Amino acid sequence: MIIQLEPSINQDQIQALKNKLGEIKYKANKVTTQYGDYLVCVGKKEFDIRSIGKMPGIKDIHRVSDAYKLVSKKWKVGQSMIDLGDGVKIGDGQFALMAGPCSIESEEQIQKTIAHLKANNVKIMRGGVYKPRSSPYSFRGLGIEGLKLWHSLAKEAGIKIITEVMMVEQIESMADYIDIFQVGARNAQNFNLLDALGEVDKPVLLKRGMSGTLDELLQSAEYIFSNGNEKIMLCERGIRTYENAYRNTFDINAIATLKEKSHLPVIADPSHGIGVRRFVDKIAYASTVAGADGIIMEVHHTPEKAFSDGQQTLNFQEAEEVYQKVRKLREIF
Ligand code: PEP
Ligand code: MN
């Protein structure tokens, strides 16, 4: 059960509410976010929710039977939208393209990517400066210095930045240089990281774990929301299955299903989703038709020379075709 509190609720009214919840043996968790105050209540007893709904200081009350509560669509009217400023919005009908390399590599690469994005009216650039790699000997990113350089160039060009944060300790030093924190598949259930991202007022794109169910993804999102940050996007990036004809199995079902289960924007990552360059465009189109609120895609001026994930990265010409066709599809669906 979710109880939305009026900002004007006073101490006496809170006490009366607590007494009432005590009577029916519901445990209440207070959540305060950048947008509102909630009590997330868990209990078993059947009761008439109107008896709480009509109490003073209560804005609204909803029954939510899912394991996840605040990220559920069951209580919120409409879809959530994330406003990055400068007219860049994601969700609730606002579609976002995000593109860039797997890893940030050099000033030249950043400049070339920014020029490509600007020429195609793509407002958000992706790129990793802290890279989770299977092998410790692979390129692991340029770190905070790379992020600072990228930020100075992107800001000048009016381009927003999405990049992965891997540890709680990195959050503070990165926050001023990013527009969206990405939580990678490998950290989808790093609950300490999720708790900490709940405490910053920055959008978070949360990727689905390598073998994570949708319920697990939504409960991970609940960690962020319940710690105070409502600016969350869910990302389908493929899961590991028995099929080895491609890197991951992109779960197209997840797009439509998450949109029904949650009010949060849903983003598709076709690059990691299939992991095969020549098929990335098809998965991007399918995701758009399935109802994604955005696409995050790996692009590079020379994919053959990319420091990471070149095998699933499009060159600028290939990417342009995807942006154009995705935009056309958006007009139809
Ligand atoms: C990435 O975006 O480059 C990345 C490492 O993604 P994922 O966490 O989905 O593997
Ligand atoms: Mn990658």
pLDDT of residue 312: 98
pLDDT of residue 50: 93
Per CATH, the number for 82-332 is 3.20.20.70
Task: Report pLDDT digits (tens) over 240-290.
Answer: 999 999 999 999 999 999 999 999 999 999 999 999 999 999 999 999 999
Model confidence band, residue 306 (pLDDT cutoffs 50, 70, 90): very high
Dist. CA 7 → ligand 1 center (Å): 39
- Tell me the fold of 2-62: Alpha-Beta Plaits (3.30.70)
Dist. CA 297 → ligand 1 center (Å): 10
Residues of the chain with CATH 3.30.70.1140: 2-62
Rounded distance, CA 167 to CA 151, Å?
20
For helices 143-157 and 168-175, the axis angle rounded to 10 degrees is 30
Q: Are residues 36 and 4 in contact, defined by beta-carbon separation less than 8 angstroms?
A: yes
Counting from 1 in the atom list of ligand 1, the atom nearest the Cα of 309 is: 3
- The rounded mean pLDDT for the chain is 97
Dist. CA 17 → ligand 2 center (Å): 48
Q: Are residues 258 and 234 in contact, defined by beta-carbon separation less than 8 angstroms?
A: yes
Rounded distance, CA 244 to CA 115, Å?
36
What's the one-letter identity of residue 228? G
Can you tell me the mean pLDDT for 92-96? Answer: 98
Residues of the chain with CATH 3.20.20.70: 82-332
Largest CA distance in the chain: 66
Model confidence band, residue 176 (pLDDT cutoffs 50, 70, 90): very high
pLDDT of residue 305: 98
Q: Position of tokens 């069951």?
A: 74
> Hey, how many other C-beta atoms are within 10 angstroms of the C-beta on 277?
19
Task: Report pLDDT digits (tens) over 123-171.
Answer: 999 999 999 999 999 999 999 999 999 999 999 999 999 999 999 999 9
Can you tell me the mean pLDDT for 6-20? Answer: 94
Binding site membership of 184 for ligand 1 (Cβ less than 6 Å):
yes
